[in-house]
Structure 1
Amino acid sequence: MGAMPESPSADVRMLAPAQVAEVLGVSVDEVIALVHERRLRGARVGSPARWRVEEKSVTDYLDDQAEEARRIALWHQSQEASFPELWGTGFVRNPD
C-alpha cells in the first residue's frame, strides 16, 4: 500500500500569540483582537484550548499594512494623484 497523501493543511505553521505580538510589536491582547476582527487567521486548538495564529496570515497582514502605507504616502505626495496611481490599474502618470 502507498503512503497516504498529506493534507493541504500539513504545511500550515501556527504561531503562539506571544510570537505574533513580538513580530508585530504589539501586545498579545492586540493580536487576539486582530484575530477577532479577522485581520489575522487563528483558532483555539488543543486541550486546554489555546490561541494559535497562522504564520502566513501574519505575513499577509504585514504586506497589507505596507501597501496601505505606500498608498497613503502616494496620496500625500501629490494632491492630484489619479486613482490608477493609487489603486494600481489603468494609466499611471508617475510610476514608482
Structure 2
Amino acid sequence: MPDSSAPAPRFLAPAQVAELLGIEVDEVIALVTAGRLRGAQLGSPARWRVEETSIGDYLDEQTEEARRMALWRQADAASFPEVWGPQRS
C-alpha cells in the first residue's frame, strides 16, 4: 500500500522555473526534453509542468559539474611547463 503521508509532487510552470534559475523559458523546456529536469505536459490543453524537486537535483548536478571542471582546470594548469620549470635531463 502506498505511503499516504508522502506529499504529492508539486509542479511548476516553465516561467516559474525560468525565474528561479535565471534562464529563459525555452531553456527550461529544453532541459525537460533533454531529461535534465523532470517534467511533463499536463492538462487540457497540454502545458509543460516541471516537478519542483527536480530543480534541486538539477542544481546539485550543475554544482558537481562545476566542481569537476574546476579540478580539471587546476590539473591542466599544473601541467604547463611554466609551472614545473625547465626540464632536467
In the TM superposition, what are the counterparts of 1:58-69 in structure 2 within 5 Å?
A: 58-69=55-66
Q: Deviations over 1:12-56 (max 9, x none)?
A: 111110011011111101111111111111111111211100011
Q: CA deviation at 1:77?
A: 1.6
How many equivalent pairs are there? 77
How does the TM-score come out when normalised to structure 1?
0.70
Q: CA deviation at 1:7?
A: 8.4
Identity %: 67
Structure of greater Rg: 2
Q: Which has the higher contact order (CA 8 A, sep 6+)?
A: 2
Supply the distance in 2 between the matched residues of 1:27 and 1:45 (Cα, whole angstroms). Answer: 20
Q: Extract structure 1 runs of 4+ deviating beyond 4 A.
A: none
| Aligned match of 2:24 | 27
How does the TM-score come out when normalised to structure 2?
0.75
Supply the distance in 2 between the matched residues of 1:11 and 1:44 (Cα, whole angstroms). Answer: 17
Runs of at least 5 residues in structure 2 that lack an aligned partner in the other structure: 79-89
| Aligned match of 1:6 | 4
Backbone CA RMSD of aligned residues: 2.3
